[in-house]
Structure 1
Amino acid sequence: MGIFAGLLTPPLAAALRDVVTPVVASLMTLVLLRVDPAQVVAYLRRPVLVAGLLAWLLLACPVLAFAAAWLTGLATGPGAPLGAALVIMATGCAATSSPAFARLVGLDGEVSLVVAVLSTLLVPFTAPPLALGLLGIDLSISMPALMGRLVLVVGLPLVLSLVIRRLVAREVLERWGRAVDGTVVLLVVLYGFGIMDGVLARLVAAPGFVLGGIALAFGGSFALNAATALAFLPAGQRVALSAGLLSGNRNMALYFAVLPAATDPRILLFFALCQFPLFLSPFLLRPVYRRLRVEE
């Protein structure tokens, strides 16, 4: 509702554009508050698998995306901003909603939780060197500045969640768990409104570019999903499908919160368009997961 209502009500989307950064920080805090660090540590029963997943998601996928952009001609010419945005999308951490999506479609929520949390904590140290250093993408910000902003947006919510967990009794947190989850849903709706600011105007002004960006967002999401699932098939079908879901759904909210206004607007537009596959693909792919599980 948030992304479509935000798309169709430009004044409201514009009014909520400036709250995107604080909403992202609040979302991170509440999501991390609902994650027990001891539970994450206890879930690390397959450290080799988790390390392999993190390396694939944060290091291998950006290189694959860059290779795909180069082979399809998106690395240069008029499509270069979309090619750069596709690569940056692939550097992102797994969406914090991934564990919920995994459980919703019957996949491995345990592995999804561990990888989503750890990739979020690691992305400030992997994405900037890859995007700005190795791949040379111009984001109008230096590597140290981008790393610093990501550390702040990820680290501050982590510290706040740990402080709250330390000050508030476990029983109280559990009792208020559903209220916290409900607040997260409301914040996601606000984020959906704000993130759609300007998208309708761009759709009217340049429908080919926007529709092409939507197609690329879905194509990139599904391609990362499929490539990851195939790469981890030896670990078992359920784990492989869960890994694919993690890889295809990346957290673009962090980049919206930290990238400067001087960043190419076409790149920022693509990040907004990535919200469509992020919110819709788990439901679009649900029949596929159901059929594969039946065959298994």
Structure 2
Amino acid sequence: MTRLLTIIARNGRWMLVAGLVGGVLLPGLASLMRAGLFPLIAAILFVSVLRVDPAQIARSFTHMRRDVPLVLFLQLALPLAVAAILHLGGVSGPLASVVILTLAAAPITGGAGLAALTGLDGMTALRLLVWGTLLLPLTSMLPLQIVFPGAAISPLEPALRLLGVIALAGGLAVVVRQIWRPGPQSDAIVMLDAVSALLLAALVLGLMDAIQPMLLRDPLQVTEMLAAAFALNFGLQIAANTAMRRAGSDPAVGGAVALMAGNRNLALFLIALPPASLEAMMVFVGCYQIPMFLTPLLMRGYYGRAVRH
């Protein structure tokens, strides 16, 4: 069993690829996994925090002065700036709307796990997830009104629900870690890495249940949305990483910020959006999972070069 977990931990990036492929080829299985997304999210958060040394968690609160302005820029200033550019350029429609919503969304829940698989600082990713979710009801007010003028839309309820999951899963992990203190290179950490990879693969499988029907119905639209998703996701990561490096940030920390800048929890908005708008946006939501969960495979070399230099 230990050998199997070691193999899974070393090949965690390929587990995410398996989840993506399974989501496209097996929509029935993906639908079953989708029903358990919230328990999966809680388990991923638990394992991500459990992997972190308690002293590192305590030190994380000292970064508030940097984290909060970063979140305000990423989730408020950036979507408003892009919305203004799109308006001045005469660009509108579902794609423009979903780009603004993506930029206004909080970082993805599995960001700490993705950061670990990419060789970046998972604690930074976790902090940005917490602050991004906490501030989401405030930061999303103007972007939502731009996309849906006059509509009474608020992500408050889903954001509070996710914050509750973060508090419960993270708090339990902190308590367990205070009792159980494995070494940084121990078999226990390898086991946690393997479990994290399996949980992330299950999560991506559950988020991909709508891709196959979309692909069969309108392959051209899916191709266009997929190209837009890759451009937005990787473009944001590269731009943010470049900015963090020029600011003198530690490469592993700056890379984690960049990873979270490009990978956003657009699904949180789905609960709050008008039903009529969901169908057009679900194409992009499904496509956005692909660059998101391919990040550890396709971007690890890019971030690795930054870390080495």
TM-score (norm 2): 0.75
CA distance, structure 1, for counterparts of residue 188 and residue 149 of structure 2: 44
Q: Which residue of 2 aligns with 1:279?
A: 293
* Contact kept in structure 2, 1:93 and 1:250, CA below 8 Å: yes
Q: Which residue of 2 aligns with 1:200?
A: 212
CA distance, structure 2, for counterparts of residue 100 and residue 218 of structure 1: 20
CA deviations over 1:202-256 (Å, ceiling 9, x no partner): 1121111111111111111122223323443442162544432221122345345
Q: How does 1:1-296 map to 2 (within 5 A)?
A: 1-28=18-45, 31=48, 39-70=56-87, 73-74=90-91, 76=92, 80-127=93-140, 129-133=141-145, 135-137=146-148, 142-143=153-154, 146-159=155-168, 161-162=170-171, 165=174, 170-172=178-180, 182-236=194-248, 238=251, 239-255=253-269, 263-294=277-308, 296=309
* Contact kept in structure 1, 2:109 and 2:265, CA below 8 Å: yes
SS at match of 1:232: helix
CA distance, structure 2, for counterparts of residue 18 and residue 287 of structure 1: 34
Deviation at 1:81, TM superposition (A): 1.4
CA distance, structure 2, for counterparts of residue 20 and residue 216 of structure 1: 25
Q: Which moved more, 1:4-13 or 1:31-40?
A: 31-40
Deviation at 1:138, TM superposition (A): 7.2
TM-score (norm 1): 0.78
Give the total of aligned pairs. Answer: 286
Runs of 5+ unmatched residues, structure 1: none
CA distance, structure 2, for counterparts of residue 104 and residue 192 of structure 1: 15
CA distance, structure 1, for counterparts of residue 60 and residue 226 of structure 2: 36
CA gap 1:37/1:107 in 2 versus in 1, 3 angstroms: closer
Deviation at 1:58, TM superposition (A): 2.0
CA distance, structure 1, for counterparts of residue 151 and residue 42 of structure 2: 22
CA gap 1:190/1:291 in 2 versus in 1, 3 angstroms: closer
SS at match of 2:107: coil
CA gap 1:36/1:24 in 2 versus in 1, 3 angstroms: same
CA distance, structure 1, for counterparts of residue 41 and residue 229 of structure 2: 21
* Contact kept in structure 2, 1:50 and 1:115, CA below 8 Å: yes
Instruction: State, as a whole percentage, how many aligned pairs show the same letter.
Output: 29
Structure 1 letter corresponding to 2:124? V
CA distance, structure 2, for counterparts of residue 282 and residue 169 of structure 1: 26
Deviation at 1:91, TM superposition (A): 1.6
Q: Which moved more, 1:180-189 or 1:207-216?
A: 180-189
Q: Which moved more, 1:111-120 or 1:54-63?
A: 111-120
CA deviations over 1:150-180 (Å, ceiling 9, x no partner): 21232244135436755x5732486987666
* Contact kept in structure 2, 1:221 and 1:249, CA below 8 Å: yes
CA distance, structure 2, for counterparts of residue 185 and residue 103 of structure 1: 10
SS at match of 2:106: coil
CA gap 1:260/1:125 in 2 versus in 1, 3 angstroms: same
